[in-house]
Amino acid sequence: MSAGLAPKHQRLVLILVALVALIGAALLAAWALRSQASYFYVPSDMVATPPEPGRAVRLGGMVQAGTVKTLPDGVTVTFAVGDGKTTVPVRYAGILPDLFTEGSGVVAEGHLGPDGTFSADTLLAKHDENYVPRELQDMTEAQARAAVAETTQ
């Protein structure tokens, strides 16, 4: 007599062990991603239900006109991001993206401070569907087509 399980039962046990290991790996990955995920907020959501302090989040909206100010250190910039309902003050130290202007869209990655100011680590400037590079802004449509054609040859 054989002291082990029948081959049919051995396969069943192997399948069950593999299934448990797969479920465990999926749960571990989901837990790790949950703690590293960067949630997206608009200003009215951030004011209504602020994220816990120190949690990495993204704040998206429009840079409010008249709010962009460079501090005396020459590197730190403060501005307000709004969504038409409310605004959130933002502080960023670094080089501003080329497309960053008042009235343009922006996504700031960082965390909300205890004073209600969003400290941005990264700024991503957005443009609308009518974006035209600065080099082509002063050209007529025909000149712009010719310039594009020259670069693609």
**153 confidence band (pLDDT: 50, 70, 90):** low
Could you tell me which CATH number the domain at 39-126 has?
2.40.50.140
Q: Residue 46 pLDDT more than 60? A: yes
Give the span between the Cα atoms of 63 and 81, in whole angstroms.
Answer: 5
Give per-residue burial for 70-80: e unless 16+ CB within 10 Å, then b. eeeeeeebebb
Distance CA 134, CA 149 (A): 17
Q: Is the pLDDT of residue 74 over 60?
A: yes
At a CB cut-off of 8 Å and minimum separation 6, what does 93 contact?
Answer: 73, 75, 76, 77
pLDDT of residue 18: 94
Parse the chain into domains and list their residue ranges: 1-37, 39-126
Residue 23's pLDDT band, with cuts at 50, 70 and 90, is: very high
Radius of gyration of the chain (CA): 26
pLDDT in tens, 86-141: 999 999 998 888 888 888 889 999 999 888 899 999 998 876 555 556 666 666 77
